[in-house]
Structures are given as C-alpha cells and as structure tokens.
Structure 1
Amino acid sequence: MYKDIILLTTSKKINNLCIAGVEKENGSWVRIISEDEEIQHAITTNDAMYEDGSMPQIMDIIRIKCKGYKPNYYQPENYVLDDSYYWEKVGTASIRELLRVHPVENNSFLFYDTDKCIERAYFNNLNDKDRYSLTLISPEDICVHVKQWSKHEKKKVTMSFNYSGNRYWYIRLTDTEFENIYLQYQDGNYNYREKCLLVVSLGDVNPKDNKHYKLIAKVLNIK
C-alpha cells in the first residue's frame, strides 16, 4: 500500500527519526515505523530520503510505500515502512491546506489528562476508539524553559502552555531544530510570542517508570 502524507514531524528518536504526518486526502494521522526493535521502530536517515539523496522537509507531500498497518496498544496510527523503495515527493502543502484536511484538535485534555505523562496501565481499560498518540493543537500563553536540572546533566529545553482551559507544564521537545535554537540560550524562562501550532506525540513507554511521556514533536510557526 502507498500513503500520501503531509509530513509534519521528523523528530529525534534513539538517534534516528520519528516520522509522522496526515493523509493528503482525508487528514488521518499516519506514523511511519520500521521493523527494527533495537531502535524502537524508528526510521533511519538512509530510509527517510528521496531517490536523489535529499531529505524530506516539513510540509512536503510524500508518497511512501508501506507493508501494512500495525497499531499497538497506545499508537493506533502506525504503518510499517517498506524500505526497499525510495520516498517520492509529490508536492508541498501550505498551513491553510493542512488545516483544510486536518483542523486543529480541541479535545478536553492533551492525551487523557493534564499531566506530562500517562501510566502504561491506563490503557488497560481504554476503548480502542478512544486511543490516539498524535495530535495537532493551537496552544496559548507559551513559555519555553531552558535549564540544566543537575550538575552533570545536559541543558534541557521544555515548554509550558495552555490548551483547552488547562495548563501543561514542562513538556519535552523532540523537535531538534527548535530545541537547538534554545540550547544556545542561558538558563531561564522565555515567553514565546510567535503564533504556532504544535504536533504532540505520545512516546514509547519509559522502562524506568513505566510511563508514556507527552512530546512536542514539531513547532509549526504560522506565517
């Protein structure tokens, strides 16, 4: 099967990539995964490129050959990549075109509650139709936090914002382009005044605490 998607994130995952977007025709979420369990089904750079060797860009419309649909208990959007084929660019979408097929989502909560993570056990009693792990939101009152939390840790960038009447604190970023800008800043809290959309993903379970963390996979500035 082929999937024509508007590419919305190429965020970092185990030194590789988490690839996701929405279908060009109906706006459904699609996450492209590999069969490599050692990298938690991430996509390698070599497998995420066009035939000329160039890399896809955010908002490219891409035709990707997939082996099939493979959801799991917390990510119902997953499709397995057929890595024997190059990706094909078939166009470029604007923000307006994106929102025409996939308007911003206005759920009561960002992934089920107001915390920054979800217990794995939460999914045991959740209906299949209520499961999701990708969302496109329009946040308000954004603050970017830059902090070295302990002496031997690297500096980290997180974000807090309002969504559907709730405040979400210190959500991690996997958008390397955005993160790298703020890693150059001194420790502090920075109001982010650009109008933007966020692609938020629910990550793999953390083996240290058995929780799934909410991750900002892409900051999409609205020009």
Structure 2
Amino acid sequence: MIHQILILAKSRKFNNFCIAGIDIDSAKWMRLVSDNNEIDGAISSKQAPFSPLDIIKVNIIKKTPILFQPENYLVDFSYPIKKIKTIDTEALLDIVYPCIKQPYTYLFYNTNPFLLYNEIQTLDSSLLIAIVDNIYFFRNSYGKIKANFIYNNFTYNNISVTDPSTYKTAPIFYQKALIIISLPHNPCNEKYYKFVANIFPIN
C-alpha cells in the first residue's frame, strides 16, 4: 500500500539509518524498516535518499510490530521511493500539532535517561514528539553526544542523541526546539535508553 510520510527522524543505527515519520493521512507514527536482520531492520543510505522534513511516497508491504516498537512497517524497496516535497519548520508545526497539543507529564514515563523493563512494558508507543526548552547538546567524557533540556517544568539530563546533525555542531544550545524521542526494542545492560533522534530548532 502506498503511503505519504513526513520524515521526522533519520538517525544512525549500525552504520545505517533508523527512519521514522508521520503518515500524512492518518497522523500516526510509522517507523520504516528493512528485512535485513543483520542490522536489525535498519535502512541503508542508498535505500533512503531523503532527509527529515521531506514528504515521501513509499510502498509498505505490511505492518511488522515487534516488542516495544509497535510502529514498525516493512518497506517495499522494489518500488521507487519518491520525494514529493520538503517543508519548513512552520509547516511542520501545523502538521504535528495533533501530536503535541496535549502535553505529556513525562517524556516516556520519567525524567531518567533510560527505562527499566517493568517501566517500558507500560508504554504503547516507542516514538514521541515534543517541544522542549533550553536544550543543550554536548559531548560527555566518553565522546558521546548527550542532551539536557526542560519539558513541562521537569529537567532531563544526559539523554542520548542519535541525530547525526549534532555530531559536528555540539556543543550547541537552543532556547526552544521540537524533538523526536525514540525507544529501542533491545536493552543495553538491562536498560532501554531514550534517544533524541532528531531536533528542529524553533525561532
């Protein structure tokens, strides 16, 4: 089935990409995946000649939900992916308004950088979008990009970042931004880390 999708995240995963966006017709999340189990369903750069804020036309074979990631959809790469257009941040805010009009109490259960197994079990989504304040991207002592920010008057510190655009720009501060946060389906040391998968600064 053909879908028009607004791409909101194209973050690094196993030297390839984890790609997610919102279906233009339904306003529901869709994470686009391949059938390559060796890279955990990631998509190669050759398969994904598009960027965040692009609206694309893609053929979906079927919905392929997995544990803790119910939004996954298998892409038919035999059908050429067509870029329809690129939108700006103002248009983005209009499109995603249904997703952000009712603020969350917390961004995925708590303010911690990760969830435990009993916590992630309570969620019915692994993707969310939110407007945050005073977001600061920096490299920690291990060279990893992290983010600190404020949401709903709560402070979040040391949140992992997979948005490639921050790798060259950090450290950098934005007073306000729209961010995409993603959760993995596999834990690291029994922890499911939250990832800032993309950031859109707001003037």
Q: Provide the TM-score with structure 2 as the length reference.
A: 0.90
Deviation of residue 68 (structure 1)?
0.5
Out of 84, 108, 115, the residue aligned to residue 111 of structure 1 is 108
Q: CA deviation at 1:123?
A: 4.3
Task: Answer yes or no: is 1:165 the counterpart of 2:153.
Answer: yes
Cα deviation code 1:134-184 (max 9, x no counterpart) = 1111111222232323xxxxx1221111112211110111011122222xx
1:142 to 129, 135, 140: 135
Distance in 2 (CA, whole Å) between partners of 1:174 and 1:193 is 17
Amino acid at match of 1:166: F
Letter in 2 for 1:58: P
**For residue 176 of structure 1, what is the aligned residue in structure 2?**
164
SS of aligned partner of 1:167: strand
Shift of 1:121: 3.6
Tell me, in whole angstroms, the C-alpha distance in 2 between the residues paired with 1:30 and 1:65: 12
Deviating more after overlay: 94-103 vs 77-86: 94-103
For residue 176 of structure 1, give the secondary structure of its aligned residue in structure 2.
coil
Change (3 A) 1:26 1:99: farther
Distance 1:25 1:133 in 2: 20
Q: CA deviation at 1:120?
A: 2.6
Q: What's the offset of the Cα at 1:39?
A: 0.5
Match of 2:191 among 192, 205, 211: 211
**Structure-2 residue corresponding to 1:42:** 42
Q: Is the 8 A contact 1:25 1:101 kept in 2?
A: no
Name the structure 2 match of 1:152: none
Task: Give TM-score, length-normalised by structure 1.
Answer: 0.82
Alpha-carbon distance in 2 for matches of 1:215, 1:148: 18
Q: Which residue of 1 aligns with 2:180?
A: 199
Distance 1:76 1:180, change over 3 A: same
Identity among equivalent pairs (%): 29
Q: Decide which structure has the larger Cα Rg and report it.
A: 1
Aligned partner of 2:197: which letter? A
Q: Which amino acid aligns with 2:167?
A: E
Q: Is 1:13 the counterpart of 2:13 in the alignment?
A: yes
When residues 95 and 67 of structure 1 are mapped into structure 2, their CA distance, relative to the original with a 3 A threshold, is: same
Q: CA RMSD of the aligned region, Å? A: 1.8
Distance in 2 separating the partners of 1:181 and 1:194: 16
In structure 2, how many angstroms separate the alpha carbons of the residues matched to 1:144 and 1:68? 36
- Structure 1 residue runs of 5 or longer lacking an equivalent are 49-54, 150-154
SS state at 2:194 partner: strand
Q: What are the ranges of 5 or more consecutive residues in structure 2 without an aligned counterpart?
A: none
2-side partners of 1:164 and 1:79: how far apart? 31
Match of 1:63 in 2: 57
State the match for 2:23 in structure 1. Answer: 23
Q: CA deviation at 1:98?
A: 2.5
Aligned residue for 2:70?
Answer: 76
